[in-house]
Structure formats: structure tokens, C-alpha cells
Amino acid sequence: MTRVLVVGAGPTGLALALQAHALGAAVRVIDRRTEAARPSRAMMLHARSLEVLRPLGVADSLLRYADSAPTVRLHLRGRVLPVRIAELAVPDTAYPHLTLLPQARVESVLATALESRGVPIERGVELASLRSARRNGVQVQLRGLGEATSDYLVGCDGADSTVRQAVGIGTSGGVYDREIVQADLELDGGLGTDTAHVSTTRAGLIFLFPHGDQAAWRLLATRPVGGGPMSPRDVQEMFDAARLQTRVGRVAWSEIVPMRHRLADRYRDDRVFLAGDAAHVHSPAGGQGMNTGIQDAINLGWKLAQAASATDPETLLDSYELERRPVARATTAWTNLVFWAESGLDPIAALIRTVLLPVGAPLVVPTVLRRRHLTAAGFRILAQLRVAYPSSRLSIDDGRPDSLPLRVGDRLPDLPVAVADGGTRLQTLTAQPGTHLLLLRDAPTVEVDDGSIHVHRLLDRGGRGLVAVRPDGYVGLRTTEASSPQVAHWLSSTGASPTPAVLRRRGLR
Ligand SMILES: Cc1cc2nc3c(=O)[nH]c(=O)nc-3n(C[C@H](O)[C@H](O)[C@H](O)COP(=O)(O)OP(=O)(O)OC[C@H]3O[C@@H](n4cnc5c(N)ncnc54)[C@H](O)[C@@H]3O)c2cc1C
């Protein structure tokens, strides 16, 4: 069994541990915090995160706590524009909606799932230093506990990552001239509690979510760097400037978060990997950070668990950085732009918020919402449904089956299909940890006795080919002939099955 030490039990570390454990690794999770609970930062879980977490059996539990038909009231210098974003025209996902869900809830659902599978989260355990990371394993020093060893170590230890510094991976990026103010508040009337509120000011946007951790409301706003802690009076002044008609009662908690964007130069140093905020930090615009971290985790978790049985483990493990680092770079670029429009201090950004948005939004927003393809296109970017790895070395194109024209490297869309039990959808069929082989109707039989390879026959899709889906839900291989040698090659290169010889015994060439 491959031993994976996960440093950090934030959303990235928890998702990584769940994925690696589900694929057969022995996982150890440590976190220096003694308490599980901490104030939420992220408030949105995107559709792609729900999709990749679904095979791990946690998507329904997450949705139980979520607001999946959120409404927003846009306060535009005295005018109020209600916006409802639900039932988007995105037919190929089971989650065609925005999902408001505080980060603390995401963490508690993932932690509960992990513990129920017999993986304890060792709290109050801090990685002090990394002794060595060689070909045969990683040795670390845990504060007060001595040495620990593992085959691989993943630093999911946040923006100031000890792991990143210990292996000497540099970063590039910059700091913003604005900081984030977060607070949990009680408000004395004036605002509907069944909806979020967004307001424009010269200084930036103000977001109010009816989902505080320690009070009814969560405030998220920006301001120039260097301000002190927020008193109720400061918050009230901010609201008055935004013409938000409410009185601030109690400020139960607040924090000031300096903002920066940063990308690690590398995601891997031999047997040590970085994921989540340890590898990349962006502004909160678009709610991408936690979601990108979860998807890093799902991408890396299966590769660590299966590397030992891959024909070329180094190529498999290197594919993590090659696939995921460009995603973080692109996300930083577009969130920088959105963050500038939301909070930039220069006259052009202020003009956008104080003139263009208040005048333009009442005209543009209803039109965009009516043109459902436009909202759907924006949603696909925001929800990370467009992330793809077409040029990855794990993506093999051996011919396009006409009846299932999926592209290699794309996420498996949630299309309706027919199987022996009746009608279903592709993401329902593949909602179990492991590799999935989708055989077309006339493909030769494939017998597999490995529990982590699942074979499905699609009765409504003619042809002799197959499509292979990776454990993170991306199409890895397509072929017009299921007996193609590429199938065995792909399975063994991803570590799904140990050797081509074993595959032959199972009926694949
Ligand atoms: C104001 C704000 C709003 C945001 N809003 C959103 C949003 O809407 N949507 C979104 O997707 N993202 C959002 N983000 C980003 C999101 O909060 C982060 O991307 C997310 O927390 C990253 O998770 P992580 O698990 O990688 O790291 P963290 O959450 O930072 O977790 C790291 C963990 O590692 C532990 N640790 C650190 N060092 C050690 C050590 N040496 N030994 C042991 N344990 C250690 C820490 O205790 C911690 O538990 C927001 C961020 C901010 C600041």
C-alpha cells in the first residue's frame, strides 16, 4: 500500500485524503490546528467540485446544507435589482446551479466522511521540518512527536506553506493595494434574509450573505490596505455609503485579510507535492480558490494511489503539475481582472462601479438572464466545467467513436445513456471511485477482476469502441475498437491495472 502523508486538513487536504484513500492508498492526515472549526472564507462550491466529489459519496451531504437556488439583490446606488440564478441551461451537469455553502460546512462534511472511513484527522500535529525526500520515501519531523515516514507527502498547508519552503520551491506573484474585510453581523431589519445582497460603492463591492458562522450575516468587502479592525460604526458607515438601508446591530467576529496572488514555480519536488493554496493563491473574485484546491486534490489523489502500479510512475506523477498549474495560472489572470473591476482604486474601476454598473446593469442583466446561452457560457467558466487536459500525456486519441463523440482530456459530460438496467446518465454510472470503461454496444466483452476498474456497456451507442474515464472524471482514452492495444497501454500507464499481461488474462489486448 502506498503511504501518503497529507499536511493540512483544509478543503484541499481533506479532498486529497478522501480520493487517495478511495483508490487504495494508506493515508495519514495531520493539521496543526487543535480545533476543527474555523471561520469560513469561501462561500461557494462550484458545479465541477460537486461533480468530482460525487464518486466519493459526499455530494448529497454537501447539498443538504447548501442553498442551490440563491437569489441576489443588487443595490445600485438606491435602485434594487433582484436576480435569481437557478436552473441554468447547462444540461450536461447534475448541478446546473450556483451553490452557496460556507467553507466550514464543506470541511465538516469531508472530515466526517474521512473519519467514517477509518481515517482519523490528527489535529494539533504540526509538520516542523522535512528531513529528506529521496527516491525511497519522505522523512519528516512532527513537532513534539518525532519522525514520520511516508512514500509521498502532499503540502496542503495553505498560502504560507511550510512544505513549500522546506523543499525550496519559489513563487511568483504580487500583492494588491486592497484588503478584504470579513465580518459576521446581526442586522436590525431592512434586508430580506432569504437572499444575498451586493452593493456598489466607489471603494468597492459589498457582499452580504445570509450565512454567517457566528451571526446571521456574513459581510465581505474590500477597502484600501492599512485600515484597522472594523467596529460596528465602521460597518455602518460602509453601508451608508452604499445606500444599504439597514442598521448594524452586533459585530460577532471580523477579520482583515491581506490580498495577494501567487503561483508556485513547481508543484512537485521528487516525492513531495503542493496542492491548493500552498501552490496558488488568487483574489476571492469568482470564488475560485477552494474549488481549484479541491480539484487539484482529486487530480493528484488517484495518481499517488496508483503510481506504484503504473508502467511509468514518473510520467503519471508529473502529469499533475502539467495539468493543474496552467489552470491556476489562467484562473489568476481572469480573477485579477474581475477583482480590479470589483475593487480597483483607480478612476476607471471606480467609474465602472459607480456609473456603468448602476446605469447598465438594469438594462443588461435581465437581457443576459433571458439569453440563457449567455448565462450558461458564463456559468461554465465560473463553475470550472471548461477545465480540460487535451494535451496531457495521459490523453490518448485512438479514433473518435461516432456514437459517443467525447474529446480526450475533457470532463465526462453528464449525458443520458441506456444500460442493461435502463436509462441513466454518465455521471450516475461513473459515481464510484476508480477507472470507468464505457463500452459501445457492439464492443468485445471485457472482463476485469480489479475492483477499481468498472466496465459499463452503453446499449444506445452503436460501435465497437470504448471510452476510458479517469478516476477524476476526465476522458483519458477514446478508441473505435475496444480490442486496440492502446487500451492496455492506457490502463497500465495510469496505474489502473498493473501490467499488460494481467490485462490480457482479463480479456483486453
Ligand atoms: C476572504 C476570502 C474569501 C474567499 N472566498 C472564496 C470563495 O468564495 N470560493 C473559493 O473557492 N475560495 C475562496 N477563498 C479561498 C479559500 O478560502 C482558499 O482557497 C482555501 O481555504 C484553500 O484551502 P487549502 O486547504 O488549500 O488551504 P487552507 O484552507 O489554508 O488550509 C491549510 C491547512 O493547513 C494547516 N497547516 C498549515 N501549516 C501546517 C503545518 N506546518 N503542519 C500541519 N498543518 C498545517 C492549517 O492549519 C490549515 O488547516 C477565499 C479566501 C479568502 C481569504
Of 35, 41, 107, 184, best ligand 1 pocket probe by most atoms within 8 Å of the beta carbon: 41
- Find the 281 Cα to ligand 1 centroid distance in Å: 9
Edge-to-edge strand ranges of the sheet holding 217-224: 79-84, 71-76, 196-200, 205-209, 217-224, 171-188, 247-264, 280-281
Q: Are strands 26-31 and 121-123 parallel, antiparallel or unpaired?
A: parallel
Closest residue by Cα to atom 15, ligand 1, is 289
The pLDDT of residue 121 is 97
CA separation, residue 286 to residues 45, 83, 331 (Å): 11, 17, 9
Nearest by Cα to 8 from 283, 275, 305? 275
Q: CA 328, CA 288: separation in Å to the nearest integer?
A: 9
Residue whose CA lies nearest to ligand 1 atom number 52:
41
pLDDT for residue 509: 44
Nearest to 158, CA basis, from 186, 196, 192, 127: 127
Could you tell me the distance, in angstroms and rounded to a whole number, from the CA of residue 277 to the centre of ligand 1?
6
Other beta carbons less than 10 A from residue 126's beta carbon:
16
Instruction: Specify the pLDDT at position 133.
Output: 66
pLDDT of residue 502: 47
Ligand 1 near 103 CB (within 6 A): yes
Tell me the domains of the chain and their CATH numbers: 3-67+99-172+261-347 (3.50.50.60), 396-505 (3.40.30.120)
What per-residue confidence (pLDDT) applies to 79? 81
341 Cα–ligand 1 center, Å: 24
Q: Quick one: DSSP state of residue 444?
A: P
What is the residue with the minimal CA distance to atom 13 of ligand 1? 42
Residue 157 Cβ < 6 Å to ligand 1: yes
Neighbours of 501 (CB within 10 A): 10
Please give the average pLDDT of every successive group of 10 residues along the chain, which has 509 residues.
96 98 97 93 95 98 93 83 79 93 96 98 96 81 93 97 97 92 90 86 87 92 86 90 89 92 96 97 91 98 96 96 97 89 80 76 74 84 95 96 95 97 96 96 83 92 97 97 92 77 48
* Ligand 1 geometric centre to CA of 226 (Å): 22
